[in-house]
């Protein structure tokens, strides 16, 4: 997704829980199953850090959240309360399921007028990777940000956005 499409998506998410949920999915590059792994004790509001649990051999680590993520998470926890347990729950107080995350993503993308091929949560993970690479310009920082154990998993984002390639092209523009 482009940054404009991300803005369109968040403009239709009014629910406090869902806003925090999708902020974390996007900004942390989470898989659909990973929000259900987050527990209240993983959140450290005094340092704005969240321990992000990863699946599929990726690396679990604490991360300092962006301001927009931290604000969204604080708003959700004010409403949710501070009882121990999953940060994101379903109506039966169990961790939110990947299926529910998919349903919500599809619904919100429809409301935002986004194409069906972009209405799955993994699109947010890919968008995170390409946007972080465009902002930071360092593939190893993207690797850490997404928790990839193997840099080869991260290299797919360099095929989409490659700041080094863009800098080189600018320097070579007038080459004769």
Q: In whole angstroms, what is the distance from residue 134 CA to residue 41 CA?
A: 32
Backbone angles phi, psi at 20, to 5 degrees: -65, -45
**Which domains are assigned to the chain?**
3-172 (1.10.443.10)
Q: What is the pLDDT along the chain (176 residues), one digit of tens a residue?
A: 999 999 999 999 999 999 999 999 999 999 999 999 999 999 999 999 999 999 988 999 999 999 999 999 999 999 999 999 999 998 888 999 999 999 999 999 999 999 999 999 999 999 999 899 888 888 899 899 898 888 888 887 766 655 666 666 677 777 76
Half-sphere exposure of 37 (CA within 13 A, CB side): 15
What residues contact residue 127 under an 8 Å CB cut-off, 6+ apart?
A: 1, 6, 26
């Amino acid at each position: 997704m482009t940054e404009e499409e991300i803005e369109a998506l968040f403009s239709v998410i009014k629910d406090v829980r869902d806003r925090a949920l999708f902020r974390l999915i996007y900004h942390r590059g989470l898989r659909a199953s990973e929000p259900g792994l987050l527990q209240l004790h993983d959140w450290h509001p005094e340092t704005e850090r969240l321990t992000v649990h990863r699946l599929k051999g990726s690396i679990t680590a604490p991360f300092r959240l962006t301001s927009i993520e931290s604000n969204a998470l604080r708003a959700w926890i004010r409403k949710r309360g501070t009882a121990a347990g999953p940060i994101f729950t379903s109506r039966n107080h169990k961790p939110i399921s990947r299926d529910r995350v998919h349903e919500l993503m599809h619904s919100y993308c429809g409301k935002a007028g986004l194409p069906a091929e972009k209405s799955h949560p993994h699109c947010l993970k890919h968008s995170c990777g390409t946007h972080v690479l465009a902002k930071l310009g360092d593939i190893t920082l993207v690797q850490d940000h997404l928790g990839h154990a193997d840099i080869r998993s991260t290299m797919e984002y360099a095929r989409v956005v490659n700041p080094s390639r863009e800098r080189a092209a600018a320097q070579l523009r007038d080459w004769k």
